[in-house]
Amino acid sequence: MHDTTMSDASSDPRPFTAGDSSQGGQPAVDFRDIDIAYGKFMAVKDFSLSIAKGSFVTLLGPSGCGKTTILRSLAGLVDITTGQISIGGRRVDDVPIYKRNIGLVFQNYALFPHKSVFDNVAFGLKYRSVPKSEIAAKVTKALEMVRLPGSEKKLPAQLSGGQQQRIALARAIIFEPEVLLMDEPLSALDANMREDMRVEIKKIQKETGITAIFVTHDQEEALSMSDQIVVMNAGRIEQIGTPQQVYDEPATGFVANFLGKANMLPGTVSAADSSGATVALECGSDVKVAAPRALAKGDGVTVVVRPQKLSVTSGADGNRLAGRIVSASYLGGSAVYEIDIAGSIVRANSAIEGKPLAEGDAVEAGFEPHDCILLDAQGRRIA
């Protein structure tokens, strides 16, 4: 699967476009060379991103990676230090927030507690001098869209968390903003509600065709909702790509580890030909790997194997790593094992055949030569 045709946007160290821009026209949102500093601390460094109209783009990364800062800079709540931001081709660096025409959804809903649902949802229309009769009709329609019709007269405190967030969504899209910004909108909800809301937000975004930027630290949310994912770390972009691209072809070790907690096995190339190589791992074993290009003997590489690709069942072909199970978590159909292989711990998420393995059992963890990703000494994917 690592043929050279894959070396497009996903492996470019600084790709610029997120979303399907093949239809041409102006990007809905354009960040160019953005730096944001808080005093001496650089929250965002060298951030460039262009977002196509109508696409759903997620900024994904650990807390403190700068994803919220980027979102807030687009909203006009944070000043950028250098660079320029455009919305629909219009530069907005010096435009105050209330003239940017953006919809904003917060983690804590931020519904005005002293105003009814109607007044909350109608708030944006009121400041766009929409006639009163039209406001009522639009609010009714918006509440139907978020499946809370008839809740006009309630106060926010009378609604559940999920309902409040749906009202907040209605409030943010009713005036048809150019872009919808969502800052961890699902993080305050409980697990079941979160999944329902995920589907609902995605559905509404598709129906309205609005350009959406979604900030989260949750990889499941990012993978399930996005057209494009922007993976960020320490104020910089690590990779931009479709959910499949960032998961299957992580550009860096950080991306591989952040999405799916991959096993990272450092080693040195001991033999190589045009289709593959043998890597002497630091934990002692030799493994055969498929390589997308010829590697040189002596190169330092990291072999990245997803827990799902690491099998502890007997009879698998390919590479075998002998070790001992240090912990086992039973998950019903499968189990997650932590295996000690000559001092380094790897995780295997394996289907259960017969009896699940127990702590202390000796096992062989195996993977096929093509079920891994290779990173070079700088931590970038070899493609």
Partner 1 sequence: MTGASVAAREGRWAWRFTGFMTVCVYIFMFAPIVATVILSFNDSMFGGFPMTGVSLRWYAKLMTNEPVLAAFKTSLWIALVTAAVSTLVGVIAAVALVRFDFRGKQTISTLVLLPALVPETILGVGLLVLIQAVHQPRTLWLLLLGHILLTLPYVVLIVQARLVGVRRSYEEAALSLGAPRISTFREITLPLLIPAVMASILLAFTISFDNTSASLFWRPAGVETMPTQILAMLKISISPEINALGTIMILVTVGVPLVGGAILQGVSHFRKRSNKKGNQP
- Give the 3-state secondary structure of residue 328: strand
**Which residue of 15, 19, 66, 103 would you call a contact of partner 1, by CB under 8 A?**
103
Under the binding rule (CB under 8 A), the answer on residue 38 touching partner 1 is: no
Closest CA to 60 of 194, 301, 221, 267: 221
The strand pair at 344-351 and 334-341 is best described as antiparallel
Half-sphere exposure of 318 (CA within 13 A, CB side): 17
Q: Among 80-88, 95-103, 230-238, 292-300, which window interacts with partner 1 (CB under 8 A)?
A: 95-103
Site for partner 1 in 122-161 (CB under 8 A): 123-124, 127-128, 150, 153-155, 158
CB of 150 to partner 1, least distance (A): 8
* Nearest distance from C-beta of residue 136 to partner 1, angstroms: 15
Residues 248, 2 contacting (CB under 8 angstroms)? no
> Is the CB of 115 or the CB of 370 nearer to partner 1?
115
> Strand, coil or helix: what is 364?
strand
User: Per rule CB under 8 A, is residue 297 in the interface with partner 1?
Assistant: no
Report helix, strand or coil for 359. coil
Site membership for partner 1, residue 108 (CB under 8 A): yes
Q: Cβ of residue 221: shortest distance to partner 1, in angstroms?
A: 20
Binding partner 1 by CB under 8 A: which of 53, 100, 306, 309? 100
Residue where the block lists tokens 């160019």: 32
Q: Which of 4, 84, 112, 203 binds partner 1 (CB under 8 A)?
A: 112
In this complex, which beta carbon is closest to partner 1, that of residue 157 or of residue 296? 157
Q: What would the x/- binding string for partner 1 be over residues 165 to 194, using CB under 8 A?
A: ---x--xx--x-------------------
**In this chain, which stretch among 97-105, 197-205, 243-251, 282-290 interacts with partner 1, using CB under 8 A?**
97-105
Q: Which DSSP letter does residue 128 get?
A: T
Whichever of 114 and 293 has its CB closer to partner 1, that residue is: 114
Q: Does residue 97 touch partner 1 according to CB under 8 A?
A: yes
Q: Which of 14, 24, 39, 98 is in the footprint of partner 1 by CB under 8 A? A: 98
| Site size with partner 1, rule: CB under 8 A | 33
Binding of residue 380 to partner 1 (CB under 8 A)? no
Distance CA 365, CA 379 (A): 24
CA–CA gap between residue 242 and residue 9 (Å, rounded): 10
- HEC string of 195-258 equals HHHHHHHHHHHHHHCCEEEEEECCHHHHHHHCCEEEEEECCEEEEEECHHHHHHCCCEHHHHHH
Longest dimension (CA), the chain: 76
351, HSE (Cβ side, Cα atoms, 13 Å): 4
Return the range that interacts with partner 1 (CB under 8 A); candidates 17-25, 106-114, 139-147, 355-363: 106-114
Q: Which is nearer to partner 1, 96 or 354 (CB)?
A: 96
Residues 68-87 that bind partner 1 (CB under 8 A): 75-77
DSSP string, 65-109: SSHHHHHHHHHTSS--SEEEEEETTEE-TTS-GGGS-EEEE-TT-
Q: Which is nearer to partner 1, 147 or 153 (CB)?
A: 153
41 touches partner 1 by CB under 8 A: no
Dihedral sign, Cα of residue 94, residue 99, residue 105, residue 109: positive
Rounded to a whole number of angstroms, the minimum distance from the CB of residue 98 to partner 1 is: 5
Only segment of 24-32, 111-119, 250-258, 281-289 that touches partner 1 (CB under 8 A): 111-119
Contact 303, 372 (CB under 8 A): yes
Binding site for partner 1 (CB under 8 A): 75-77, 96-104, 106, 108, 110-114, 116, 123-124, 127-128, 150, 153-155, 158, 168, 171-172, 175
